[in-house]
A = this chain, B = another copy of it.
Amino acid sequence: MENIDTGEITVGVVGLGLMGCSFIASLLIAGHNVKAIAPLTEDMESASERVHNHLTVCENAGLLNKPIESYLAQVVITEDYGHLSTCSLVLECVIEIPAIKKSVYQKIEKVVTKNTVIASNTSAIPISELQNHLEHPGRFLGIHWAEPAYLSRFMEITCGSSSDIEHANWVYELAHCWGKEPTLLRKDLRGFITNRLMYAVYREGLSLVEKGEATLEDVDKAFRYDAGSWMTLMGIFRRMDFMGLADQFEIFKTVFPKLCNDDNITPLMQHMVDIDARGTRNLLGLYPYTEEEARKWEEAFVLFNMEIFKLAEMYPSKREKKPVAEIQYL
């Protein structure tokens, strides 16, 4: 990791929506030169301002060590894919429609070298599936960022069935230069890690609410104030160590058989989709929102992220020793 000079590595970003511009800010802060490709002409107009706004947030958070203009000098915003020719890594973050992604990959592969790593930020389409659209699929990976990209330590690097693990290892090292605590999935696990585990929570939570056993609000309160009080510090398995494993084992035995095992979505969730509820985006969600409230949640999320980012920094995980359980048992 110490040997990586980010100034020597040019990174391409294709797709300059909210997420793409957020990645760009993170990459610029890490010292990369960035080629930012706008597949949509309207993004050409807004991208520069978006990147500027993100960098302003970073400046206020004390993440910058030079003026915003110096960072902006490291990025080229263009519609011309040709600029990608010098890139060692290209990040795709266009809309989650396979046909569109396919055409983007073709345009990228036309100009980059054979060794350029190409990665998608998708969370909806399996990497192994997207990989089929590439001429050189071994160089293709999933790199899944969390928003806002410059204020989150989370990053999931995922191999598809024909990804070259060397490329994944390189991105894994590089991600540390971006201030990430990355995870590396050698297999294309559906839902990756966090989503997969969170969906287990959503299934159980929706089931409890659906059966009238708990309210939405109480589930949220319990998670905010209980799980929230150790999540960022420990994750789930160290939490088990901290609580002592034997007691939990006894409770697992009685509670596991009571957990929801339904493959089907609850009628509550179906109803929300039927009425086109898009949450804070269209003010129609599980909770009610006014325009102002939705805006306040957006603002609170950015602020909270900044705070939890700083807080996490005080409790570093470093690269931890291999867990005993995996050496001894697995």
Contact = CB atoms under 8 A, between A and B. Distances in A.
Interface of A: 123-124, 146, 152-154, 156, 181-185, 187, 189-205, 208-210, 212-238, 240-265, 267-273, 276-281, 284-289, 297, 300-301, 304-305, 307-309, 311-312, 314-315, 317, 320-326, 328-330
30 contacts: A146-B225, A146-B226, A181-B225, A183-B214, A194-B227, A197-B204, A198-B227, A198-B236, A199-B256, A200-B204, A209-B237, A210-B330, A215-B323, A217-B320, A221-B317, A225-B232, A228-B228, A228-B312, A229-B309, A241-B280, A242-B279, A245-B273, A249-B269, A252-B269, A256-B263, A268-B329, A286-B325, A287-B325, A304-B315, A311-B311
A325 B197 contact: no
Contacts of A289: 241
A323 B217 contact: yes
Copies of this chain, whole number: 2
A166 B308 CA distance: 39
Given A253-B265, A320-B287, A229 B197 contact: no
Given A222-B183, A233-B224, A265-B252, A243 B279 contact: yes
B205 A237 contact: yes
Given A193-B208, A278-B244, A287-B324, A238 B261 contact: no
Contact of A218 (B123, B183, B214, B264): B183
B218 A259 contact: no
